A = this chain, B = another copy of it.
Amino acid sequence: MASKIRRGVSLYSFQEEMFLGKMNVEDCVSFAASIGAKGIEILPEQNMPSFPNVTDAEIAGWHEMLERHGCHFTCYDMFLDTKLRNDRLLTDDEQVESIRRDLALCNRMGIRNMRVLIFVRPDILERCVPYAEELDVHMGVEVHAPWYLDHPWILRTIEVADRLGTKHLGILPDMGIFMKHYPPELRARFEREGARPEITQFIVDQHEQKVMCEYTIYEVAVKMKGNPSEVRMAETLRHAPYANPKRIGDFAPYFRHIQAKFYGMTEDCRDPAHAYDEVIPELLKAGWEGTLSSEYEGNRWVQDVMDVDSREQVRRQHEMFKRLLGETANGQEDA
């Protein structure tokens, strides 16, 4: 039986090349199509210069471009500028209005999933549910490390969704929560900045053993008298818990899209850090239907020593996805 899991990319993945003017959005879409990643996740505040005053003609232009490459939108990444002003936070009404603006644009673009930033308050989202239902957009709170699926902040959103009985509020996991091993790209960067290999090895070993991060930070900062790069590397552990992949089944009804975070793939197309080999089988077991959307975030860790090649990194991740999803040459392509 073919899996219902589709492959896609977030335009976030190509931020290095787009920032430098080496790729435009169509280059990204064209490349995604070439690796069978037909679902496109967009950050309007990154990719649409006229945001928030996007015209119907612009939207039509996007759709024509996507169709040229056989692609389609999967998800809209929203932001909420509660600190728009320096003299006060947005009021609750203003926050609801900002989200409603995004929901309306998302709907106009024909997108049915919206990534909601994790800091948005559940009671604000509760007020947005009627609009989300009317516009048929699923608001998925991004479960981003160091949060995890069972984190009580996330459970508050689940509680709202259950209480309202709505299908338009839930979560949207960022696979960074399944970082099982310390990413070699981060370690190498800290070593280039002056961290000593014996200290970075200690940090990697502690993480591998899943020691409470505060202990490791204390060991490195106080007992080993770590230098600033070493302490900064130890502090990255605060942002990198490893959530239990076995919980995916419990939460699967609450998400329809996944941000497939990664920092770098090996040449033989393996992710040395994230436990996709445990996560994807759980998704398959749950019969989950939705898109695995590449979110390459390695550029910032390697740009000091090499030209970033986001395409090659994303290509390798999709080779891994094909392997783990059991896609054959002709299998998933037309799904």
Which of A's residues lie within 8 Å of B, judged by CB?
Answer: 121, 146-148, 150-153, 155-156, 209-212, 214, 238, 241-244, 247
Chain B residues lying within 8 Å of A210, measured Cβ to Cβ, are 151-153, 155-156
Expressed in whole angstroms, the Cα–Cα distance for A209 and B122 within the complex equals: 9
In order of increasing CB-CB distance, the 10 nearest A-B pairs are A152-B210, A152-B242, A153-B210, A150-B244, A150-B150, A156-B210, A155-B244, A153-B212, A153-B211, A150-B247
Known: A150-B247, A156-B209, A156-B210. 5 other contacts (CB 8 A): A121-B209, A148-B150, A152-B241, A153-B211, A153-B212
Expressed in whole angstroms, the Cα–Cα distance for A211 and B243 within the complex equals: 18
Chain B residues lying within 8 Å of A121, measured Cβ to Cβ, are 209
Closest to A118 in B: B212
| Given the contacts A155-B244, A244-B155, A212 and B150 also touching, CB distance less than 8 Å | no
Chain B residues lying within 8 Å of A155, measured Cβ to Cβ, are 210, 244
Residue in B209, B212, B247 whose CB lies within 8 Å of A147: B212
A306 to chain B, nearest CB (A): 32
Chain B residues lying within 8 Å of A209, measured Cβ to Cβ, are 121, 153, 156
Closest to A156 in B: B210
Expressed in whole angstroms, the Cα–Cα distance for A155 and B151 within the complex equals: 16
A145 to chain B, nearest CB (A): 11
